[in-house]
Amino acid sequence: MSTEQEWDIVSGIGITALAVAVGRAIETVRPDALAKDPYAARFLEEARPPAPLPATVAEAMAREGEEDWSAMTGYLAVRTRAFDDFFQRAVDAGVTQIVLLASGLDTRPFRLPWPENTVAYEIDQPQVLDFKMRVLRKYGATTVCDHRPVPVDLRHDWAAALGEAGFDRSRPTAWLAEGLLPYLPPKAEDDLFQEIHRLSAPGSRLAVEYISDVQEVLDAYAVGDHARHMDADIGSMLHTDRRPAPGVRLAALGWETRDVPAVEAAEGYGRPLDPASSMTGAAFAFAHRP
């Protein structure tokens, strides 16, 4: 992104959050769902995205038969479940502070079973978070955790905003960067990892989705077609420069890291990725700060 404008939910980068919600809405009604998000369909209906994005789950389900949609929603289901399981492991290890970076329409603070003393921060653009909270309030979403939206641009001083919202550096944190890195310019990504490290007490954990060759994904049929579905120029939003893998960066900072290729995660969940999916090259990095 070269521009500094804020994005609402049906235009610019905000629509990418809605597209992920389409995937979660479809997954939610599958009999073998890897994750269920009862709010995903509500976001669609409230946003009434411009055609050709589906405006209802029924419409989305009809699209599911289209090869590019089913490949993408299959990947999103695996990604969602892999990071749900990451948070479960963090909770089991006693971590009670979580930060969702570029949370979009992720509703984990509302749909996962957090211990009552959990504090959940989520960072995204103000208009994306405003839309999400309006819909969640309308549908009576509740959470046992202390939920704190932090509306700030991750290219700016987000750490200061997180601190103002009450983030406690002395507490181990579980961080998530899902569907984020390719949207950040190189310096913002460098700063992101440095800041996460600076703010992470021993015992903190981080999960990151990454794609080693973003250009390859952009060139692939699925994303190209999704871009047409969203009536948005995804290519202009994504950065294609090559960067160090998150695991390499974090290992250099003293973290223990483990990479799980998306293909392997999908097989582990019994839902192999469609070989035609443009996301077969994606991976999930899981890191722990001793």
Binding interface with ligand SAM (CB under 6 A): 7, 13-14, 16-17, 20, 102-106, 124-125, 128, 153-155, 178-180, 183
Q: Which residues contact 70 (CB under 8 A, 6 or more apart)?
A: 64, 274
Choose among 228, 48, 208, 42: nearest CA to 140.
Answer: 42
Minimum distance from residue 265 beta carbon to ligand SAM (Å): 15
Give least dist CB 55 to ligand SAM, A: 18
Q: Which is nearer to ligand SAM, 105 or 119 (CB)?
A: 105
Least CB distance to ligand SAM at residue 176 (A):
7
CB neighbours of residue 220 within 10 Å: 18
Residue closer to ligand SAM by CB (options 64, 178) is: 178
Angstrom distances, CA of residue 59 to CA of 44, 65, 125: 10, 11, 28
13 or 82: whose CB is closer to ligand SAM? 13
- In the complex, least distance from residue 119 CB atom to ligand SAM, rounded to whole angstroms: 19
Beta carbon nearer to ligand SAM, 114 or 183: 183
Min. distance of Cβ 281 from ligand SAM in angstroms?
A: 17
Q: Which DSSP string do the residues of 198-215 spell out, in sequence order?
A: HH--TT-EEEEEEES-HH
Tokens 């070989």, residue located: 275
Q: What is the 3-state secondary structure (H, E, C) of 64-90?
A: HCCHHHHHHHHHHHHHHHHHHHHHHHH
Q: Which is nearer to ligand SAM, 19 or 119 (CB)?
A: 19
**Distance of closest approach, residue 128 Cβ to ligand SAM, in angstroms:** 5
Q: Which residue has the tokens 């290992």?
A: 251
Peptide bond into 113 cis (omega under 30): no
Q: Which residues pair with 261 in a beta bridge?
A: 283
| Residue number closest to ligand SAM, CB atom | 104
- Complex with ligand SAM: residue 8 or 251, whichever CB lies closer: 8
Question: CA gyration radius for the chain?
Answer: 18
